[in-house]
Structure 1
Amino acid sequence: MARSVQRPVPPRVSAPDLPRHLDEGVVTRRMDAHQMRFTGLSGDVDLAHSALEECIIDAAAVDALDLVGATLIDVSITDLKATSVSARDTTIRRMRITGGRIGTLDLAGAQLAELELRDVRIDYLSLGGARAEDVLIAGCAIRTLDLPHAALTRLAFDDCRAEEVDPRGMRATDVDLRGLEAASFLDVLALRGVTLTPWQVERLAPAFAAAAGIDVRG
């Protein structure tokens, strides 16, 4: 007899596969970087349409990090301080961002597989229109989480907070929101397919009732 699958299925996230030795890298436009470490980047950094494989970006303090259209495989980013990170339409496989503070992290339209965000403060995180599989967001404080028309599979939060979440048009499979303390959701009916705790459902009950056209009176 086939065993039943326990839902939600957790994300299958592994650490980036990095070698012991990495060459020191210098950023150039549309670069093809393999086994490099980039340290102390500053100002505006242009890595749009670049390919980074088995690389580390460490202790960068930048105004803007442009990763639009880039391909990132086995990449670790640590202690990043950035006003904005534009990663629209990127292809990501096994990337971990640890620590730091980011004003805007724009992953709209990205193709994501095995992404981990850990202990990062983010003012605005966008996954609008992204296709994301196996994503873990842990220990993060997010002001606005934007998810419109995202296709999310095996995404989970652990000890995270958000002030506002926009899930409109989101398609969710094995999306676990039990570890996300959110002050508000712009459209509770768009949460179809996610997993919540009884306490979260209780807090959202007035919004669910209003969305269903129910007039609740004492």
Structure 2
Amino acid sequence: MARASDSLVAPRVSPPDLPPRLEHARPSRGADLLAAELDLHGTADLAHASLEQCAIAADADAVDLVGATLIDVELVDARIASLRVRDANLRRVRVTGGRLGTLDLSGARIDELELRGVRIDYLNLGGAKATDVEIADCAIRTLDMPQAELTRVRFADTRTDEVDPRGLRAAHVDLRGLDAGAFLDANSLRGTTLSSFQVQLLAPVLAAGIGIHVLD
């Protein structure tokens, strides 16, 4: 019988397909942007906008992408206090470097997302449906993913203080590269892959979850 690690399928993540030349554009609610370059400051409203083959730079207080569609989009070294991408559609999106206070992806539909070298205070994947996600070299203070549906997701060299996986539905989710201070509900980790060391740390919580009393 194959071990879980043998059958684990890695995420299939490719870089955004960006043209060699981008035209500068201004953000606006409901905008339809193609091959555009945006430089965001203050508060930027791009709710329900369509961004395709776009590059985003930002030093902003708040960026609203609620209900937006992002295809082949890249953010590099962005500094945003609140990045709201709730209920959005993402395909081939890459975020590299920078600092995000809140990254709200709750309810989003995600196909190919890469977060690399990003510092995030609060990452919310609650209720998201995400396929092919790579999170590497990130520092995440709080990671929430209740009721999320995750397929082919991998963490590498990433640390977090606290993870809320309640109601998580997982397939090919590799948590071995996630150094987590605490999982709020270890019983919701069904379908994920952990290292033996992680399982040892979770043993008391797992035992309590099935009614085992551990006394020394």
| Partner SS for 2:86 | coil
Structure 1 counterpart of 2:43, one-letter code: D
Distance (Å, rounded) in 2 between the aligned partners of 1:106 and 1:166: 14
Mapping 1:11-160, distance limit 5 Å:
11-39=11-39, 41-58=40-57, 60-160=58-158
Structure 2 counterpart of 1:110, one-letter code: A
Query: For residue 10 of structure 2, what is the aligned residue in structure 1?
Result: 10
Query: For residue 166 of structure 1, what is the aligned residue in structure 2?
Result: 164
Deviation of residue 29 (structure 1)? 1.9
Deviation of residue 14 (structure 1)? 0.2
Distance (Å, rounded) in 2 between the aligned partners of 1:61 and 1:207: 41
Residues 106-127 of structure 1 show CA distances to partners (whole Å, capped at 9, x for unaligned) of 0000000000000001011011
Query: For residue 186 of structure 1, what is the aligned residue in structure 2?
Result: 184
Distance (Å, rounded) in 2 between the aligned partners of 1:49 and 1:71: 7
Q: Does 1:205 align with 2:203?
A: yes
Structure 1 counterpart of 2:11, one-letter code: P
Uncovered stretches (5+) of structure 2, i.e. residues with no partner: none
Structure 1 counterpart of 2:53, one-letter code: E
| Partner SS for 2:26 | coil
Deviation of residue 213 (structure 1)? 1.3
TM (norm. structure 2) is 0.96
Distance (Å, rounded) in 1 between the aligned partners of 2:7 and 2:111: 20
Deviation of residue 183 (structure 1)? 0.5
Q: Root-mean-square deviation (CA), in Å? A: 1.0
Structure 2 counterpart of 1:136, one-letter code: E
Structure 1 counterpart of 2:42, one-letter code: G
Structure 2 counterpart of 1:201, one-letter code: V
Uncovered stretches (5+) of structure 1, i.e. residues with no partner: none
